[in-house]
Amino acid sequence: MSAAMSHYDALDFGSLEQCSASATEREGANISVRELTRLLHIDYPDEAWLACTAFALRRVHDGEALVHSGDKFHSLYIVRSGCFKTVYTDFSGSEQVLGFPMCGDLMGADGIDGGHYKSTAVSLDTSEVVILPLTGMARLTNECRSLEALLYRVLSRELVRVQNMTWTLGTLGAEGRVAAFLLNLSERLGALGYSRCSFNLRMTRQEIGSYLGLKLETVSRALSALNNARIIHVHQRTIDIVDADALRAVIDPAAGVPAGIAAHPASATARSGSNDDGNPSKPRSQFPSGRALRQLAA
């Protein structure tokens, strides 16, 4: 019985005793709902209370873990600044990176159902997160129905992100995955106001490889190949995207990425029609040839 209830505790909207988390988590300032919607790029009616209700923030230092896999679930987190990695940690110690949440991204949602976080979130930077104590949200969603919808949307967005990842891993080869990774990063940084074509990676080749299901050497080789093909310019963790279209072409030489593998959900969703090449009949190979890049580079 206690096992069944432990799940339930974390979501018991009736009791609010867990609302105010631990003391260590309310060190800093806090932000309003209005700011939160801006952070998430989700528009909502301009109601007065948006400015009132506030969420606590928490600062996480470089290398520090926000939550550990197996910890009891209590809150969702939205990244406000900095960059994280979320990892499954195998019992034997080896890690599998699941994502690199950045500003506006959700963390911790895999803990809702089971009552325990399923992945560990480590900061790759000095970061700041907004704490959404799900138990305490009941009071708020009662006051404003649309706040409930906001949570659904954030969860859905995360789901789409992970689904896109499975598409990437399922259909693309090494260079395609790296290209998709770079385009994704480019889009997200662009959406935050940073340069879309020049940025610094916060993660190692190993971490990228773990994320993309590749070995670090393969990541390095793929980057070199894209570099030699003059599609990007790489020097250590400095990336310059020289030809974004060529980069997109690496992902699918002919046409269609399903619904914007690299696109942030905030961008347009239904851009059907247009992007249709003349010969959909040709059964061209699923794999973007790595050979093509090498020839291009020669």
Candidate residues 126, 141, 206, 289; the one interacting with a second copy per rule CB under 8 A:
141
For a second copy, which is the closer residue by CB, 146 or 220?
A: 146
Candidate residues 28, 52, 61, 159; the one interacting with a second copy per rule CB under 8 A:
159
Using CB distances below 5 to 8 A depending on partner kind, what does residue 142 bind out of a second copy, DNA, none?
a second copy
What is the separation of C-alpha 8 from the centre of its chain, rounded to a whole number of angstroms? Answer: 27
- Smallest separation, CB 93 to a second copy (Å): 6
State the Cα–Cα distance between residues 247 and 61, nearest whole angstrom: 33
What is the separation of C-alpha 134 from the centre of its chain, rounded to a whole number of angstroms? Answer: 20
Considering only the stretches 31-39, 81-89, 187-195, 216-224, report the one whose residues sit in contact with DNA under the rule CB under 7 A: 216-224
Q: Please give the structure tokens belonging to residue 233.
A: 């310019």
Q: By CB under 8 A, tell whether 143 contacts a second copy.
A: no
Q: By CB under 7 A, tell whether 174 contacts DNA.
A: yes
Considering only the stretches 39-47, 64-72, 90-98, 207-215, report the one whose residues sit in contact with DNA under the rule CB under 7 A: 207-215
Residues 58 to 97 in contact with a second copy, rule: CB under 8 A: 69-70, 88-94, 96
Q: By CB under 8 A, tell whether 2 contacts a second copy.
A: no
Q: By CB under 8 A, tell whether 212 contacts a second copy.
A: yes
Residues 231 to 270 in contact with DNA, rule: CB under 7 A: 234-237
- Smallest separation, CB 121 to DNA (Å): 18
Interface with DNA (CB under 7 A), residue total 28
For DNA, which is the closer residue by CB, 102 or 223?
A: 223
Candidate residues 200, 238, 286, 295; the one interacting with a second copy per rule CB under 8 A:
286
Candidate residues 67, 134, 178, 219; the one interacting with a second copy per rule CB under 8 A:
134
The side-by-side arrangement of strands in the sheet containing 65-67 is 65-67, 120-123, 84-89, 95-99
For DNA, which is the closer residue by CB, 160 or 234?
A: 234
User: CA-CA distances (angstroms) from residue 294 to 175, 222, 255?
Assistant: 11, 10, 21
Q: What is the DSSP letter of 121?
A: E
State the Cα–Cα distance between residues 36 and 40, nearest whole angstrom: 6
Find where tokens 């009552």 sit: 115
For a second copy, which is the closer residue by CB, 37 or 198?
A: 37
Residues 129, 58 contacting (CB under 8 angstroms): yes
Residue 87 sits at φ, ψ, to 5 deg, of -135, 140
CA-atom Rg of the chain in angstroms: 21
For DNA, which is the closer residue by CB, 86 or 218?
A: 218
Q: Residue 19: how many CA atoms within 13 Å on its side-chain side? A: 12
Q: By CB under 7 A, tell whether 289 contacts DNA.
A: yes
State the Cα–Cα distance between residues 187 and 65, nearest whole angstrom: 26
Candidate residues 47, 49, 52, 162; the one interacting with a second copy per rule CB under 8 A:
162
DSSP strand E in the chain: where? Answer: 30-32, 54-60, 65-67, 75-81, 84-89, 95-99, 106-107, 120-123, 127-133, 198-200, 232-235, 238-241
Using CB distances below 5 to 8 A depending on partner kind, what does residue 217 bind out of a second copy, DNA, none?
DNA
